[in-house]
Amino acid sequence: SAVISQKPSRDICQRGTSLTIQCQVDSQVTMMFWYRQQPGQSLTLIATANQGSEATYESGFVIDKFPISRPNLTFSTLTVSNMSPEDSSIYLCSVQSGGRSGYGYTFGSGTRLTVV
């Protein structure tokens, strides 16, 4: 299955600033997924990132707040913009294991963000 390197693992940021999270996959994948996990909660999908096209955002998430880049088939970034304490969460990227459906998903190790 794919291996994902996610950076940074954690950060403490001032409100009003932005943080960019990176995910590097060791194989080419068509779709990458970005999730948010608020404290004590489950995972919620933010957006799906396809190489060569605009990311598709889920209800409640907008591009201005969470811009995503997908410059090639092994890399993606998620930026959390103009942060507030409510953005304090774990952010995770994910890809389909084996590059196709029916084989589960591989997740990055997560970025624990604290906004003060």
Partner 1 sequence: SQQGEEDPQALSIQEGENATMNCSYKTSINNLQWYRQNSGRGLVHLILIRSNEREKHSGRLRVTLDTSKKSSSLLITASRAADTASYFCATDAADSWGKLQFGAGTQVVVTP
Where along the sequence are the contacts to partner 1 (CB under 8 A)?
1, 6, 31, 33, 37, 41-45, 48, 58-59, 90, 92, 94, 96-97, 101-110, 112
For partner 1, the closer of residues 63 and 82 by Cβ is 63
Task: Output the smallest distance, CB 38 to partner 1, in A.
Answer: 11
Q: What is the DSSP string of 3-28?
A: -EEEE-SEEEE-TT--EEEEEEESS-
Task: Output the smallest distance, CB 67 to partner 1, in A.
Answer: 19
Q: Residues 6 or more apart from 78 whose CB is under 8 A from it?
A: 20, 21, 23, 34, 46, 47, 66, 67, 68, 91, 93
For partner 1, the closer of residues 65 and 112 by Cβ is 112
